[in-house]
Structures are given as C-alpha cells and as structure tokens.
Amino acid sequence: MSEEMYKKLAQAVIDGEAEDAVNLAKQALDQNLDPLACIANGLTKGIQQVGELFANEEYYLPELIIGADAMKAALEILEPALTGDQQREIVARVVVGTVEGDLHEIGKTLVATMLSANGFKVTDIGVDRSTEEFISAIKENDATIVGASALLTTTMLQQEKLIKSIKEAGLGDKVKVMVGGAPVSKKYAEQIASLEKNATYPLGDTESFQIAHGDNYFAFFDRLGKVEYVVVL
Ligand code: B12
C-alpha cells in the first residue's frame, strides 16, 4: 500500500498537481504512513524526475515551477507530522538558508526539517540570502552551525564567500559551516572549507550530502532527504 502511495505522490509532483499532492499527503497520514518515507520515496522521487525532464528539455520552466509548488504544498502537510514530537533537549542552534541569487528552497527546507526532527534548534532564514543576512542571523540566534544551500553552479560560489565572511566577522572559531545542494561535491566542499581551518569532514562516501566543517558536528543526508545520522561528537 505504501509503495502505491509513494508512486502517486511522485506522480502528483511530476504532473504539477498541487491539490492532488495535498490530498494524497493527507491520505498518507490518515493511513499512518511514515511522513519521512512519503517525502523521500514519493515527493523527492517526483521532483527528481521533474529535474530530469527539464534537463532533457521535455519540461520547461512552467512545469518546473508547478512541480515544485506541488511538492511544497504536500510538504506543508507532511512536515508537521515529522517534527510534531520535538520536546527534546536542543542539540545545537543552527541557521539554515539558501545563498544569494538562488531561489531553490526545497532541499534547504528539507534539511531544516531533518535537523529539527533530530533535536537541533533551527532558524530558517529563507532563500536568496546575502552573507550579511546569514551573519546577522548567526549573531541574533547565537548559532553554532550554519547550513548554506546552493543549487546552481553559479551560486555555489557564495558558499565560499560565506565561509570567508564568517571568518572575517570573527566567528570562525565558534561557527561550523555545512554546505549542501545538488552541485556541491565533496571536492568543492573540502576546497572551500580549507580556507578556514584546513579541516573538513566528508560525510559518507556517496555524492549526496557533503560536508560539515569544523570539529564537533557531523550530519548526513542522502539525496532522498533521508537522515542517515546526525551526530554530535
Ligand atoms: C525545483 C527546481 C526549481 C524551482 C525551485 C522552486 C523552489 N521553491 O525551490 C524553480 C522553478 C524556481 C527553479 C528555478 C531555476 N532553476 Co531549478 N531546479 C529545480 C529542480 C528540478 C529540483 C530542485 C529540488 O528542489 N530538488 C529536491 C531537493 C530535495 O533536493 P536538493 O535541493 O538537491 O536538496 C537535497 C541535497 O542536495 C541536500 N541539500 C540541499 N541543500 C542543502 C544544504 C545543506 C546545509 C545540507 C547539509 C544539505 C543540503 O539535502 C537535500 C535533501 O537530500 C532542480 C533539478 C535537480 N535535480 O536538482 C533544478 C535545477 C537546480 N535548476 C536549474 C536551473 C538552471 C534553474 C534556473 C536558472 C532556470 C531558469 N532558466 O530560470 C532557475 C534559477 C532560479 C534561481 N535564481 O534560483 C538547474 C541548475 C543547473 C546548474 N548546473 O546550475 C537544475 C539542476 C535543473 C537542470 N537539470 O538543469 N528551479
């Protein structure tokens, strides 16, 4: 039954049918299906397919937008079920955002959700955020981890800028930076993190989610948005 639901959720995203996606998400919760599995095996599969169709020029921007909207609408139903029982001790305070010039929010939001589901106190500052906005949020929230998402090869350069700026703001010893997003490779992550401390932590041997930068924190997500583990050493 769950497999069938995952397929339907994926299809609703591929078809850009937000209403169907929402109804299916509600049905999934009514059937006590695991919301995380619905996201990972259903919605995320769908949006990946949309990305492939776009890359192959079978889909154009409008289809990309309505697919993403359908995914977002269904996530709004599923995410509260994921984070509903969060009365736990705070592991650490995290600021999460998508870098300047980049409007992709789904992966970033998923990461924020996964972190909160695992006991982190997350402040999500949204998309298209400048390094200054990241730094203000770090200070305001007294965060010790920052997660920067970039989905474009052009905007991933902002992650490097952010790491430099964090150092320049005198926060380098306090703040660990996690970078992620589809184009961010382990190699790139190591390259930009070495700007600061020459210490990077590749997390797992897949190409999925890249690095934590710093001494204390490890977090790993696979491409399907499933948390493999979040560990504080
Ligand atoms: C949906 C989408 C859009 C939507 C975004 C809507 C929204 N509200 O988010 C819209 C339509 C707005 C869009 C616009 C564009 N897009 Co777009 N988009 C996508 C698409 C199909 C899916 C992205 C997505 O949401 N994936 C699902 C999530 C769950 O995965 P994810 O983001 O990778 O996140 C996971 C991991 O990467 C990781 N992660 C992500 N962030 C972080 C952060 C941290 C800290 C950590 C630890 C981990 C982590 O964890 C997540 C869970 O596993 C991708 C294709 C693809 N396969 O990636 C193209 C894609 C990213 N887009 C692309 C392009 C070209 C564009 C546009 C330039 C198109 C245009 N001509 O205008 C614009 C750019 C707008 C801008 N300035 O940002 C290209 C990028 C190519 C490149 N090499 O740079 C892609 C790859 C499509 C393609 N195959 O060509 N896009």
What domains can be seen in the chain, in order of their start residue? Answer: 2-78 (1.10.1240.10), 93-232 (3.40.50.280)
User: Confidence class of residue 32 from pLDDT cuts 50, 70 and 90?
Assistant: very high
pLDDT band at 186; cut points 50, 70, 90: low
pLDDT at 231 over 50: no
Task: Give the nearest ligand 1 atom to 51 CA.
Answer: 21
The region that residue 192 occupies, defined by phi over 0 for left and psi between -120 and 50 for alpha, beta otherwise, is alpha
Residue scoring higher pLDDT (188 or 12):
12
Cβ-based neighbours of 208, under 8 Å, separated by 6 or more:
220, 221, 222, 223
Question: Of the given ranges (43-47, 140-144, 158-162, 202-206), which has the lowest mean pLDDT?
Answer: 202-206
pLDDT of residue 110: 74
Q: Taking 90 as the threshold, does the pLDDT of residue 136 lie above it?
A: yes
Could you tell me the pLDDT band of residue 100, with boundaries at 50, 70 and 90? very high
**Ligand 1 and 182: CB distance under 6 A:** yes
CA of 107 to the centre of ligand 1 (A): 8
State the SS3 of 178-216.
Answer: EEECCCCCHHHHHHHHCCCCCCCEECCCCCCCCEEECCC
CA-178 nearest atom, ligand 1: 45
Quick check: CB of 44 below 6 Å from ligand 1?
A: yes
Indicate if the pLDDT at residue 209 is higher than 60. no
Q: 220 CB less than 6 Å from ligand 1?
A: no
C-alpha angle 49-82-103 in degrees, rounded to nearest 5: 45
* pLDDT, position 133: 98
d(CA 105, CA 89): 27
Angstrom distance (rounded) from CA 166 to CA 160: 10
| Residue minimizing CA distance to atom 34 of ligand 1 | 107
What pLDDT is recorded for position 211?
34
Give the H/E segment covering residue 73.
Answer: helix 61-83
Give the mean model confidence (pLDDT) for residues 124-145.
96
Amino acid at 178: M
Specify the amino acid at residue 215.
D
Cα 75 to averaged position of ligand 1 atoms, centre (Å):
16
Q: Model confidence at 114, in pLDDT bands (50, 70, 90)?
A: low
Where residue 212 falls among pLDDT bands split at 50, 70, 90? very low
pLDDT band at 195 (very low <50, low <70, confident <90, very high): low
Q: Band of the pLDDT at 193, cuts 50, 70, 90? A: low
- Give me the amino acid identity at 212: A
Whole-number Å distance, alpha carbon 102 to ligand 1 midpoint, is: 9
- pLDDT category at 204 given cuts 50, 70, 90 is very low
Which pLDDT belongs to residue 111?
A: 78
Q: What is the dihedral sign for C-alpha 95, 64, 152, 36?
A: positive
* Amino acid letter for position 170: G
pLDDT of 87 above 60: no
Q: Ligand 1: distance of its center to the CA of 19 in Å?
A: 22
- What's the rounded mean pLDDT across residues 41-51? 86
Give alpha helix (H) positions in 118-194.
131-141, 157-168, 186-193
pLDDT exceeding 70 applies to what percent of the chain?
75
Q: Which of 47, 151, 192, 210 has the most ligand 1 atoms within 8 A of CB, as the residue to mutate? A: 151
**Residue 129's pLDDT is what?**
98
Q: Which residues is 229 bridged to in the sheet?
A: 220
Categorize the per-residue pLDDT at 26 as very low, low, confident or very high, splitting at 50, 70 and 90.
Answer: very high
CA of 31 to the centre of ligand 1 (A): 31
57 close to ligand 1 (CB < 6 Angstrom): no
Ligand 1 atom nearest to CA at 221: 53
Count CA within 13 A, CB hemisphere, residue 15: 11
